[in-house]
Chain A
Amino acid sequence: MTVVAKPLPPVLEVEGLCIAYRDGHAERRAVHDVSFRINPGEVVALVGESGSGKTTTAQSIIGLLAANGRVESGSIKLNGTDIARWSDRQLDTVRGVKISLVPQDPGSSLNPIKTIGSQIGEIFRIHGALHSEEIEGRVLSLLARVGLSEPALRARQYPHELSGGMRQRVLIAIAIALKPQLIIADEPTSALDVTVQKRILDLIDELRAEYGTSVLLVTHDLGVAADRADRLVVLQKGRIQEQDAAGVILAAPRSAYTRQLLADAPSFTAPVKRPIRSPGVGVQDDVVVVEGLVREFPRDDGRGRLCAVNDLSFRVRRGTTHAIVGESGSGKTTTIRNIVGFDKPTAGRIEIDGIEVSGLKGEDLRQFRRKIQLVYQNPYGSLDPRQSVLQIVTEPLLNFSRLARADREEKVRTILSRVGLPEDALLRRPHALSGGQRQRVAIARALVLDPQVVVLDEAVSALDVSVQARILDLLAELQSDLGLTYLFVSHDLAVVRQISDTVSVLKDGRLVEGGVVSEIFEAPSSEYTCELINAIPGRTRRAAA
């Protein structure tokens, strides 16, 4: 008699789910008729950009919708029981036990004033799962299991004493503590460096295999989803565009939206063949020259000095893009602060368009800022919320030029239309703009002074891939039209490969390697660069392609 393996019932079955948010007196529906299922041991990825409803869907499964959100219709079945309308008290018996959460931002997801050990131990105390004497032992073994060295020390430490990657490991330890059937991982690595991201995702994979837990991976990054998920559910504006096995969708996406997402994701696009514009010999037109840059800070504990940047040198040819790549703590921010003159180097020389920066003071330094402008990572934080777009872009002109009022406005309008902002956006304030529009405003503000060099400090990192692709197109266009030189600071190697000519890879304040981007990507000479390149998500898809 042959036994046919009976398919196990799904762990989670979502059917016809509609979720609305109350907004004043009106209700706005954020999730429309979403249905999908997760089988035991399976990884399902909810993929979509901001506003796609992916986080709302995930929150509703664990019963943690914002106070103004409510499930309108549909069911969320956990092992066949509909929990969509359960009370908090009922859900408390499921949360942490059957379903657990790995949150997005490890920085703020741990209580800052409680020790790591007590925050892990808490889940056993809440559910009365262990005797109090047993808890400490379990906490230590969990800490060791998620790969933290010196578990006993970690258990006594507070969150601020741990790095982002370590904190995410602690949160994973909490999520697996009671061996739940389903882990919801909500953008678990989007706040982490690429190499850390890879290690964390590997850890989740490993634990899933060990415990047979299912994972609902919520992510905006198709590369991550492609590498880690068995099945993909692609969401746009609260509706499912398509769902299928990951391989099927990546090989032959059916919906136009998925095709667009794939085209925009920098980790999938074939490297652009850029004409090699490396610093040539002979004609020296290097607009940025950094030689032997050293920046030391006194240590917090007053003992010795911390070397943030150690003997860094590179040159950037006019009209090209130079990327500065590195993870947190690599010294990239310190480097650009010195280049734009916000900080003084301990030693070394920086020359921008023939001007030695470190010697500048007062009015000379102020005038120098016309040559080099910054676009920051966070388009929300870098624009004054009380000013209109027009005022924001006009302000630099007021500081530097004596243009007549009409000429000034003419110039601002030209530049704003140049960066692709509609006319009707000019009088709006930043909060009424989308993320991509805000970053366009920031770019316009940088360009209005006709600078030689624009420093793009993680300028596209916070944007959705489709928006990111448009902004990168705009930057390329502006560069070729205006002959701009870009210093592109980023941790995202996929984007770096797409838009830069030359690159400096930094680690712990030192230059690991530098040179022409295509050469370095094809034949990295240092182990660290290899590791960085391997950590770019989306390898499975690239290998298949």
Chain B
Amino acid sequence: MSAYLLNRAAQALFVLWAAFTISFVLLQAMPGDAVLIKFQNPDLGLTAAQVAEIRSSYAVDSPVVVQYLRTIGNFLTGNFGYSVQAGVPVGSLLAAHLPATLMLATLGFLLASVLAVIIAFLSSLTPLAWLRGALQSIPSLFISIPTFWLGIMLIQIFSFRLKLVPVINPGPWQELILPVLTLAVPISAPLAQVLVRNIDDAMTRPFVAVARAKGASRFWVLSRHVAKNALLPTLTIAGVLLGELIAGAVVTETVFGLNGIGGLTERAVGSQDAAVLQAIVVLSALGFVIINLAVDLLYPVLDPRLRTKAGAAA
């Protein structure tokens, strides 16, 4: 087991390094940099020599390799650099914006899971063919709705028409209701789709017939035998969906004017704030790595067949 863990940890470190390096190269390859964008503005009336001086104070004029090594060293010691645009350390920017996004993403993911489970269970339990068909076409509908459009429609309907959720000075929880819903809908679609298919697969397995022959009802079989078996393959897709979650958060935060990582990313891209972008890329990669590691470690907990295998490998 420990050998397996070490192996996985090494893979995780490699992914982080690769994400850092690739994003560093890409950010370097862009013409210009944040310092130029901010200080070359003719209105500031700085001379070329002064700009060069500022550039050297931010150390953006040293050779690429030196910058690369220095940045990687700084990241390892927890120093993510300085935001040129905001004029504060990137670390404190992240600390200020991360909680809102974490809250949004977590709640969004939970709601998406609940939606997916409801859709999958109902479509599997209903004896009515038309209802089953309707429920199973929901995921395709959900995945085709653009996030920004959904956000605007939700504000229109719930805030302006029905006046259920205030837009001006909402409470900390009220503020989250619509964004979480907006984020959850497209995430729930692939989850529901995979879950429906896996439930259908599991339903045809012989052990289901045996459980039915014991006298178990359809609901008993679904909740005690099929659900957990169907969850195993769904878990894999849940790990992959984190990417969707991050992309969805950027749009959602912009539409709802939330102060999170999404909004921060959007502004940093606009101003080519390389240090901020670099930190966000590494942060996202870290999220991916942690979620997928957690998924891998969760498999043996849910499936005893993998438990003995992992044990034997140790």
Asked if chains A and B come from one complex, the reply is: yes
What residues of chain A have their CB less than 8 Å away from a CB belonging to chain B?
A: 62, 64, 88-89, 92-97, 99-101, 103-105, 108-114, 122-123, 126-127, 158, 160-161, 171, 174, 300-302
Q: From B38-46, B247-255, B297-305, give the one contacting chain A.
A: B297-305
Q: Is there contact, CB below 8 Å, between A158 and B305?
A: yes
Identify which of residues 169-209 in chain B touch chain A, using a CB-to-CB cut-off of 8 Å: 205-207, 209
Interface-forming stretch among B100-108, B142-150, B210-218, B235-243? B210-218
Interface residues of B in 73-102 (CB under 8 A from A): none
Question: Once bound together, how far apart are the Cα atoms of A122 and B214, in whole Å?
Answer: 8
Number of A-B contacts (CB under 8 A): 80
Determine whether the beta carbon of B210 is less than 8 Å from that of A110.
yes
Say yes or no: B215 contacts A92, CB within 8 Å. yes
Residue-wise interface mask of B (212-229) relative to A, using a CB-CB cutoff of 8 A (1 in contact, 0 not) = 111111101000110011
Q: Which chain A positions have C-beta within 8 A of B6?
A: none
Residues in A neighbouring B209, C-beta threshold 8 A: 64, 101, 103, 109
Does the CB pair A113–B304 fall under 8 Å?
Answer: yes
Residue numbers in B under 8 Å from A122 (CB-CB): 211, 214, 216, 224
Partner of A126, one of B206, B210, B220, B304: B220
Q: How far is the CB of A1 from chain B (nearest CB, A)?
A: 44
Question: Is the Cβ of A105 less than 8 Å from the Cβ of B220?
Answer: no
Nearest-neighbour CB distance to chain A for B132, whole angstroms, equals 11
Docked CA distance A158–B224 (Å): 16
Chain B residues with CB under 8 Å of A92's CB are 215-217
Across the interface, do A174 and B214 meet the contact criterion of CB distance under 8 Å?
Answer: yes
**B205, B211, B217, B228 — which one has the most chain A CB atoms within 10 A of its CB?**
B211
Identity of the chain B residue whose Cβ is nearest the Cβ of A109 in the assembled complex: B206
Q: How far is the CA of A111 from the CA of B230 in the complex (A)?
A: 12
Does B62 reach chain A (CB closer than 8 Å)?
Answer: no
Chain B interface residues toward A at CB < 8 A: 205-207, 209-218, 220, 224-225, 228-229, 302-305, 308, 312
B211, B213, B302: the one contacting A100 at CB < 8 Å is B213
Residues of B within 8 A of A64 (CB): 209, 212-213
Which of B206, B213, B225 is the one whose CB lies under 8 Å from A114? B225
Could you list some 6 contacts between A and B, CB below 8 A?
A64-B209, A112-B303, A113-B305, A122-B216, A123-B215, A126-B215
Q: Which residue of B lies closest to A177 (CB)?
A: B214
Q: How far is the CB of B216 from chain A (nearest CB, A)?
A: 5
Residues on A with beta carbons closer than 8 Å to the beta carbon of B220: 126
Cβ-defined partner of B305 (8 Å) among A95, A112, A127: A112
Complex contacts, B205 vs chain A, CB 8 Å = 108
Given that A108-B206, A171-B210 are contacting pairs, would A113 and B216 also be in contact in the complex, using a CB cutoff of 8 Å? no
Q: Which residues from chain B contact A301 at a C-beta distance below 8 Å?
A: 312
Cβ A160 vs Cβ B305 within 8 A: yes
The answer to whether A160 touches B304 (Cβ under 8 A) is yes
Q: In chain A, what residue has the closest Cβ to B203?
A: A67
Q: A111-B225, A301-B312 are in contact. List 12 more A-B contacts (CB 8 A).
A: A89-B217, A94-B215, A95-B212, A99-B213, A101-B213, A103-B206, A103-B213, A109-B207, A111-B207, A112-B229, A126-B220, A160-B304
Contact of B216 with A126 in the complex, beta carbons under 8 Å: yes
Name B215's contact: one of A96, A109, A113, A161 (CB within 8 Å). Answer: A96
Which single member of B207, B215, B302, B308 contacts A95 (CB below 8 Å)?
B215
Inter-chain contacts of A96 with B (CB < 8 A): 213-215
Report chain B residues within 8 Å CB of A104. Answer: 206
Contacts A111-B225, A113-B229, A302-B312; is A95 near B213 (CB within 8 Å)? yes
CB-CB under 8 A from B228, the residues of chain A are 113
User: Which residues of A are found within 8 Å of B211, using beta-carbon distances?
Assistant: 111, 122
Q: Within the assembled complex, what's the spacing in Å between the Cα atoms of A246 and B29? A: 86
Interface of B is mostly: helix
A114 to B206, CA, bound (A): 14
B207: chain A residues at CB < 8 Å are: 108-112
Is there contact, CB below 8 Å, between B210 and A103? yes
Give chain A nearest CB distance to B206 CB in angstroms: 4
Interface centre among B215, B220, B312 (most CB of A within 10 A): B215
Would you give the shortest CB distance from A543 to chain B, in whole angstroms? 35
Do residues A95 and B218 form an inter-chain contact, with CB atoms below 8 A?
A: no
Q: Compute how far the CA of A265 lies from the CA of B206 in the bound complex, rounded to whole angstroms.
A: 28
Are A111 and B229 neighbours in the complex by a CB distance under 8 Å?
Answer: yes
- Which chain A residues lie closer than 8 Å to B225 at the CB level? 111, 114
Q: When chains A and B are docked, how far (Å) is the Cα of A99 from the Cα of B212? A: 12
Complex-state Cα separation, A158 to B306, whole angstroms: 11
Q: In the complex, what residues of A have CB within 8 A of residue B214's CB?
A: 95-96, 100, 122-123, 126, 174
> B217 contacts which chain A residues (CB < 8 A)?
88-89, 92
Instruction: Tell me which of A103, A108, A113 has the highest count of chain B C-beta atoms within 10 A of its own C-beta.
Output: A113
- In the complex the two chains form, what is the Cα distance from A302 to B3 in whole Å? 13
In the bound complex, residues from chain B placing their C-beta under 8 Å from that of A105 are: 206
Query: 8 tightest CB-CB pairs across the interface, nearest first?
Result: A96-B215, A101-B213, A95-B215, A96-B214, A158-B304, A109-B206, A123-B214, A300-B312
Asked whether B210 lies within 8 Å of A174 as measured between CB atoms, the reply is: yes
A113 touches B206 (CB 8 A): no
A97 to B213, CA, bound (A): 9
Measured between beta carbons, the chain A residues less than 8 angstroms from B212 are 64, 95
Docked Cα-Cα span, A89 to B215, in Å, equals 9
Contact call A113/B302, Cβ cutoff below 8 A: yes
Query: What are the residues of chain B within 8 A of A161 when measuring CB–CB?
Result: 308
B303–A113 touching, CB < 8 Å: yes
Residue in B closest to A96 when the chains form the complex, CB atoms: B215
Residue ID in chain B nearest A66 by CB atoms: B204
Q: How far is the CA of A95 from the CA of B220 in the complex (A)?
A: 14
CB A142 to nearest CB in B, in angstroms, measures 13
**C-alpha spacing A113/B216, complex, angstroms:** 18
Closest B residue to A123 by CB, please name it.
B214
Q: Which residue of B lies closest to A97 (CB)?
A: B215
Distance from A540 Cβ to chain B, minimum over Cβ atoms (Å): 30
Q: Return the chain A residue nearest B224 by Cβ.
A: A122
| Chain A residues within an 8 Å CB radius of B303 | 112-113
Instruction: Select which of B206, B213, B302, B305 is within 8 A of A62 by beta carbon.
Output: B213
Identity of the chain A residue whose Cβ is nearest the Cβ of B225 in the assembled complex: A111
B261 to chain A, nearest CB (A): 37
Q: Which of A88, A110, A126, A174 contacts B218 (CB 8 A)?
A: A88
Q: Are A93 and B210 in contact (CB under 8 A)?
A: no
Please report the C-alpha to C-alpha distance between residue A508 and residue B206 in the assembled complex, in whole angstroms: 30
A122–B306 CA distance with the chains assembled, in angstroms: 24
Q: Could you tell me the distance between the alpha carbons of A467 and B16 in the complex, rounded to whole angstroms?
A: 59
**Smallest CB–CB gap between B223 and chain A, Å?**
12
Q: Closest B-chain residue to A98, C-beta based?
A: B215
CA A158 to CA B214, docked complex, whole Å: 19
Residue numbers in B under 8 Å from A62 (CB-CB) = 213
Residue of A nearest to B231 (CB): A113
